[in-house]
């Protein structure tokens, strides 16, 4: 037998994966700032239980010198039960390329550490998309329906306000109905081009066959293979309606986010954020630790300060090293995954990444990291997996400021 075995590559694999958890933690603002809760008592199978206080303790009041105290009251609580998400990515390579593409004198990049590093980078990027999103894996909604092209490519109109940072050329996405999840195309499609002026994203079939499907305003482009399986995101938590973590926001005021969006498109300025601060404090007694903001809105904020004060705004740094522009005593931190024209005030004590592990790891439950799935086939696979959920203990400490103008 001359098959390459896991033991042959054990040293290389362990060396390549050693700093993964710590490195991933610092890839994005939320992964850096949000605490991780690995308390095993919260877990029952795949479910995570989060007890929630809905209001401060009641019964405080003034009395006379010989008067009676108010009757004691029970605490006002509820319980959120959420299902853990699973985020994973597979990489595959043949043993021949493993043998040939190694050594600095032979190749520009060794296969194993290069593939693993690129998988880890992509892993962090997709997790951030989900954490900043609405929990539905939607990358862009169709704004104007298009007929089937009948050709090699298909245009999808997502509008000029779509987040084209997430719709990069080469990305694999799925075209689906936003409500039912029904696929519009039998296979994922690859983005081959986009036009920010027209809002058209051009896609092609991965296997090179003709791409031809019609779209409607009920459709959208989604993270590959993730519809119905995304982890929760800020957009869902800050929403003022809907069911979130099993609790109907309409029935529990403390479970609603605060929407401080101006009625019309407005420049982000001190007045806008001052209003957001007052409104969120009035319902929660707390104020955001910092704001996560569309980068073009951060630029517009800075430009406004320059116009009126001949000052570009004081830069600041979070404890984890992420920088932003200072608004009074806190920071406006840019994040390219943020919904365009939007800022969200982050209250860190109300959120956590619930996981039994500190971070993702290369799956070795079968006894090895490299695995084969075809009889007597040489190629091997490795899986990077993390079971986690972005959970919230309250929503009324979050504030959304939408309808903001962007810098050109």
Name the residue among 205, 194, 208 with its Cα closest to residue 155.
Answer: 194
Question: What's the CATH code, domain 138-223?
Answer: 2.40.30
Q: Are 31 and 320 in contact (CB under 8 A)?
A: no
Q: Are 126 and 87 in contact (CB under 8 A)?
A: yes
pLDDT at 181: 95
Residue 161 CA to residue 117 CA, distance in Å, equals: 32
Low-confidence ranges of the chain (pLDDT < 70): 1-26, 97-112, 306-315, 320, 375-376
Residue 206 CA to residue 108 CA, distance in Å, equals: 27
Q: Which residues, in sequence order, are bridge partners of residue 91?
A: 382
Q: Are 158 and 142 in contact (CB under 8 A)?
A: yes
Helix (H, G, I), strand (E, B) or coil at 211: strand
pLDDT at 324: 84
pLDDT one-digit tens code per residue, 114-157: 777 777 888 888 999 999 999 999 999 999 999 998 888 999 99
pLDDT one-digit tens code per residue, 225-268: 999 999 999 999 999 999 999 889 998 888 899 999 999 999 99
Antiparallel, parallel or unpaired: β 380-392 and 85-93:
antiparallel
pLDDT at 97: 66
How many residues would you count in the chain? 408
pLDDT at 142: 97
pLDDT at 307: 52
Q: How far is CA 299 from the centre of its chain?
A: 22
Name the residue among 241, 243, 235, 245 with its Cα closest to residue 84.
Answer: 245
pLDDT at 16: 43
The conformation of residue 232, written as its DSSP 8-state character, comes to P
Helix (H, G, I), strand (E, B) or coil at 131: helix
Q: DSSP of 11-30, one letter per residue? A: HHHHHHHTTHHHHHHTSSHH
Residue 337 CA to residue 141 CA, distance in Å, equals: 15
Contacts of 253 (CB under 8 A, 6+ apart): 283, 396
pLDDT at 17: 46
Q: What is the pTM of this model?
A: 0.82
Q: Are 243 and 259 in contact (CB under 8 A)?
A: no
pLDDT at 103: 56
Q: How many CB atoms lie within 10 A of CB 352?
A: 21
Q: Where in the chain are the domains?
A: 138-223, 259-351
């Amino acid at each position: 037998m001359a098959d390459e075995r896991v033991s042959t590559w054990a040293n290389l694999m362990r060396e390549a994966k050693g700093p993964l958890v710590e490195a991933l933690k610092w890839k994005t603002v939320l992964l850096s700032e949000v605490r991780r809760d690995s308390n095993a008592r919260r877990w029952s199978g795949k479910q995570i239980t989060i007890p929630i206080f809905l209001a401060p303790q009641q019964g405080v009041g003034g009395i006379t010198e010989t008067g009676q105290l108010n009757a004691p009251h029970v605490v006002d609580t509820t319980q959120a039960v959420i299902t853990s998400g699973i985020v994973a990515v597979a990489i595959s390579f043949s043993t021949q390329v493993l043998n040939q593409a190694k050594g600095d004198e032979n190749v520009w990049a060794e296969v194993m550490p290069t593939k693993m590093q690129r998988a880890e980078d992509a892993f962090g990027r997709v997790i951030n998309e989900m954490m900043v999103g609405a929990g539905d894996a939607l990358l862009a909604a169709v704004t104007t329906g298009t007929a089937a092209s009948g050709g090699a490519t298909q245009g999808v109109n997502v509008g000029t306000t779509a987040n084209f940072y997430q719709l990069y050329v080469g990305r694999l996405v799925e075209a689906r109905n936003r409500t039912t999840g029904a696929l519009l195309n039998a296979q994922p499609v690859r983005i081959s081009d986009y036009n920010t002026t027209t809002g058209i994203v051009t896609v092609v079939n991965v296997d090179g066959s003709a791409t031809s499907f019609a779209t409607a305003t009920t459709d959208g482009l989604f993270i590959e293979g993730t519809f119905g399986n995304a982890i929760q995101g800020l957009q869902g938590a800050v929403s003022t309606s809907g069911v979130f973590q099993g609790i109907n926001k309409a029935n529990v005021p403390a479970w609603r986010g605060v929407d401080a969006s101006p009625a019309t498109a407005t420049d982000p300025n001190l007045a806008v954020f001052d209003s957001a601060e007052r409104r969120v404090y009035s319902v929660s007694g707390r104020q955001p630790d910092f704001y996560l903001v569309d980068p073009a809105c951060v630029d517009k904020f800075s430009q406004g300060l320059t116009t009126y004060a001949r000052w570009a705004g004081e830069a600041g740094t979070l404890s984890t090293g992420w920088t932003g522009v200072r608004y009074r005593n806190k920071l406006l931190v840019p994040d390219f995954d943020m919904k365009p024209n939007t800022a969200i005030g982050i209250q860190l004590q109300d959120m956590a990444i619930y996981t039994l592990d500190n971070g993702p790891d290369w799956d070795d439950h079968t006894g090895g990291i490299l695995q084969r799935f075809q009889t007597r086939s040489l190629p091997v696979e490795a899986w990077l997996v993390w079971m986690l959920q972005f959970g919230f203990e309250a929503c009324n400490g979050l504030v959304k400021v939408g309808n903001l103008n962007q810098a050109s």
